[in-house]
Structure 1
Amino acid sequence: MQDKVTFEYAIIRFMPKVEREEFFNIGVIVFSKRKKFLALKYHIDEKKLAAFSCEITLDELTQYLNAWDAICKGAPHGGKIGTFDIADRFRWLAASKSTMILCSPTHAGLSTNPQEELERIFEEYVL
């Protein structure tokens, strides 16, 4: 148990019509302060996207998620938010929003390897 550190995660959801509250899971974001880890993984099911929305394309949604990935990595093209410290970047991404891409409430756990948790949670909740 000594090797385990806390991590937090949120499920990334696509909700094209916020007022209808219909969504499907498209990704996961995982954060561990002690491991200095912040990453996301996503997959957009094209059939679900077509069923939920004809107003946004796969390319547009992918661009938004790539921007989130840049923020996770602290990349220069992540904009001002990409310059925040790792915890603030996670909090900003996981914050409640009224947009078509939003996150579930955050959840916490213990792990020795946040990357493995990212993969496990992604397979369980997205694929």
Structure 2
Amino acid sequence: MHVHDTYDYAVVRVVPRVEREEFVNVGVILSCERAKFLEACIEVDEARLRALDPAIDLGMVGRHLDAIAAICRGGEAAAPIGLLPPRARFHWLTAKRSAIIQTSPVHMGRCGGDLAATLDHLMERMVRLTKPAG
């Protein structure tokens, strides 16, 4: 009998104008403690961000989002946070903050072991726009 992995995930959001609380989902961070898995997938729809704030600094946003992926990978390149265990890095990344880059509350799920496929599935549901049938 195959044991399902439990995982935690949070949706990464860009909030161009924090005072307005409008956001665009741009990625997902997925963590599975048992598998020592911590990965982020980020896909930015620049047109959607510009619709909320035409003057948004996309370069700055990109640098901050790149830092999320680096922290997930860990190591010295991700500064002191990158040296923490994966679970501690996940909690640091998903801590509540009032900034242009935020995460949703943490949610839990179960999968049959293919965490990369689970991350892609979450991206499809939470980030990527689906085209209407027709």
- Structure 1 CA distance, aligned partners of 2:83 and 2:32? 18
1:87 is displaced (CA, Å) by 0.5
Contact 2:32 2:38 in 1 (8 A): yes
- What are the ranges of 5 or more consecutive residues in structure 1 without an aligned counterpart? none
Structure 2 residue identity aligned to 1:118 = L
Counterpart in 1 of 2:11?
11
Counterpart in 1 of 2:123?
122
1:58-112 deviation per Cα after TM superposition (whole angstroms, max 9, x unaligned): 2221111111111000032211111111100000001111111100001001112
Q: 3-state SS of the aligned residue for 1:44? A: coil
How many residues align? The count is: 127
5 Å matches for 1:32-43?
A: 32-43=32-43
TM-score after normalising by structure 2 = 0.89
- What are the ranges of 5 or more consecutive residues in structure 2 without an aligned counterpart? 129-134
Counterpart in 2 of 1:85?
85
- Structure 2 CA distance, aligned partners of 1:42 and 1:74? 16
- Structure 2 CA distance, aligned partners of 1:124 and 1:115? 14
TM-score after normalising by structure 1 = 0.94
| Identity %, equivalent residues | 38
- Structure 2 CA distance, aligned partners of 1:9 and 1:51? 27
Task: State the Cα RMSD in Å.
Answer: 1.3
- Structure 2 CA distance, aligned partners of 1:3 and 1:116? 17
5 Å matches for 1:63-102?
A: 63-102=63-102
Counterpart in 1 of 2:21?
21
Q: Does 1:60 align with 2:60?
A: yes
- Structure 1 CA distance, aligned partners of 2:76 and 2:65? 16
- Structure 2 CA distance, aligned partners of 1:14 and 1:5? 29
